[in-house]
Amino acid sequence: MNLLSNIHKQVFYLQVLALILLLTASCSSKIQDKNTSELVTSSATVKPNILILHVDDLGYHDLSINGSKIYQTPIIDQLARESVRFTNAYANYPRCVPSRYAMLTGNYPVQDGDVPDDSFSIDHLEDDKNYIKAIDDAGYQTAYFGKYHLGESPTDLGFDTSVAAGHAGSPISYIAPFNVNKRKWESNKDPILDLDAIAKPGEYLTDVLTSQTIDYIKNRDSQQPFMAMLAFYNVHQPFEAKEEDIKRNRKEIKDFDYGNTLEYIKEGTGRTKMRQDNATYAAMVENTDENIGRILDMLKIEGLLNNTIIIFSSDHGGLSNDGTKERQLATSNYPLRAGKGHLYEGGIKVPFFVKANDLEPRDENSLVMLMDVFPTLANLTSNKQPVAAGQNMLPVWYDQENWNDRTVFWHSSKARPVNTGDTKSSAVRQGKYKLIHWYEEDRKELYNMEADPGEQNDLSGTMPDVVVTLSRKLTNWKKTF
């Protein structure tokens, strides 16, 4: 009996050991193959919440963490330090409507050889191409707050809730009542239909939208995860901010030493602003920062911060350029070249970072675009695979892959030489080289983005082989639409 007992014990221990080894191997395999929603959740029953903070017209260098000496953004800076910070993140277009179209549909914003403009509406997406519907079908409560600019309502795309989002690209005023013009010149902007109903006279729009988002998150069904997108109208024109914030920034700007920096230089058909010296714009940037702080505080108080993925982005570069008609400009994107409307870096490079509880903060140099956001989130929440040009970034988020050599494209057919000084162009970047082609003029410029991020040294005359290779890629891509 003792012998049999010992044998039984030995067999039992061997079985336990085998089970441990099997479980260890299984866990190791899962750790090594982080390419699905297992990347973010330790349990299939616990789904992360998702919060997207999308700022309008915010330039890459409009954050103090990215080099601004004028705009103070301590909350966003700290969020960035806790995130994966993408140093090669791009908008798909240097203007609002096409950029937002690309982000929400996961595809390049080219329709039959052209791009959407201000009158464009997304009325319907087929279910198999609709990433928002996939997220909703996965059990998420979905909500959209703020600037949409793609039709009457984000509910047309599948969001359950929509607040203050419509066709308008910007408010008539940032001070309630928001649909009443308070400036000396006439405004022909579309009213935002439900905007004035949610605010008291004198309230600031960004404060109100943030409060709406906070209330939604606090009062939603806590048994279901949420995916909320707060698309700030800030910092798009009109230039309006709280008077006390303007006065403070006006004094700080007056005391700032710009040295020999010119106020403007020539670019395209107009000028590029070289100084960040607009006190009202500075106040708008800082108000956005404060409101993001309010949301983060709420998430912490509600116990949601550790289970919420936070994505911060802008829709394109800052308004630093005018054209044949001079206008008041918002900011400077220097040392990046040009700004909103242009395919130089100042127009398309955007701040983009992702915070999640199991993501190790770092700088990440992979080439990513806004069109990658919702394919990634759909894969994360429902295992849906990308169906268009936008890619699933999860392997990059978790440092399993690097996309530094990825090839990405732009096509800017809706030029505005009067307003922003740009002319029709297309561009391609593969790895460190970027080619811009002004196709009506048949003019090309080539830049090494690692050595020359400010795009000052055109290599097209000295590297003809690279020009030919990238031109062929760009031509072949343009044949697809």
Q: Which domain holds residue 451?
A: 424-481
Is residue 34 situated within a structural domain?
no
Same-domain status, 285 and 153:
yes
Same domain, yes or no, for 329 and 477?
no
180 and 92 assigned to the same domain: yes
Q: Which two tokens stand for residue 273?
A: 């602003």
Interaxial angle between packed helices 373-382 and 96-105, expressed in degrees from 0 to 180 and rounded to the nearest 10: 20
- The order of strands in the sheet holding 425-430 is 407-412, 425-430, 433-438, 443-448
Q: Is residue 286 part of a domain?
A: yes
**pLDDT tens per residue across all 481 residues of the chain:** 443 344 344 434 444 444 444 444 444 433 334 444 555 544 446 899 999 999 999 999 999 999 999 999 999 999 999 999 999 999 999 999 999 999 999 999 997 677 888 778 887 788 899 999 999 999 999 999 999 988 888 998 999 999 988 878 899 999 999 988 877 665 667 788 788 889 999 999 999 999 999 999 999 999 999 999 999 999 999 999 999 999 999 999 999 999 999 999 999 999 999 999 999 999 999 999 999 999 999 999 999 999 999 999 999 999 999 999 999 999 999 999 999 999 999 999 999 999 999 999 999 999 999 999 999 999 999 999 999 999 999 999 999 999 999 999 999 999 999 999 999 999 999 999 999 999 999 999 999 999 999 999 999 999 999 999 999 999 999 999 8
- Same-domain check for residues 316 and 431: no
Boundary residue ending a domain (404, 439, 470): 404
Tokens at 388, concatenated: 């268009």
Residues 463, 353, single domain; the answer is no
Q: Are residues 113 and 202 in the same domain?
A: yes
Same domain, 204 and 296: yes
Q: Cα(141)–Cα(224) distance, rounded to whole angstroms?
A: 7
Asked if residue 474 and residue 330 are part of one domain, the reply reads no
CATH number (domain holding residue 475): 3.30.1120.10
Helix (H, G, I), strand (E, B) or coil at 130: coil
Q: In this structure, is residue 262 part of a structural domain?
A: yes
Q: Domain for residue 40, yes or no? A: no
478 within domain boundaries: yes
Nearest Cα neighbor of 213 from 66, 54, 78 is 54
Classify residue 386: in a domain, yes or no.
yes
Q: Are 358 and 377 in contact (CB under 8 A)?
A: no
| Domain's final residue, options 376, 404, 432 | 404
Q: Tell me, what CATH number does 70's domain have?
A: 3.40.720.10
Q: Are strands 161-163 and 407-412 parallel, antiparallel or unpaired?
A: unpaired
Is 21 a member of any domain?
Answer: no
* Residue 28 belongs to some domain of the structure: no
> Do 83 and 194 have their domain in common?
yes
Judgement on whether residues 366 and 430 belong to the same structural domain of the protein: no
Q: How many domains does the chain have?
A: 2
- 429 plus 360 within the same structural domain: no
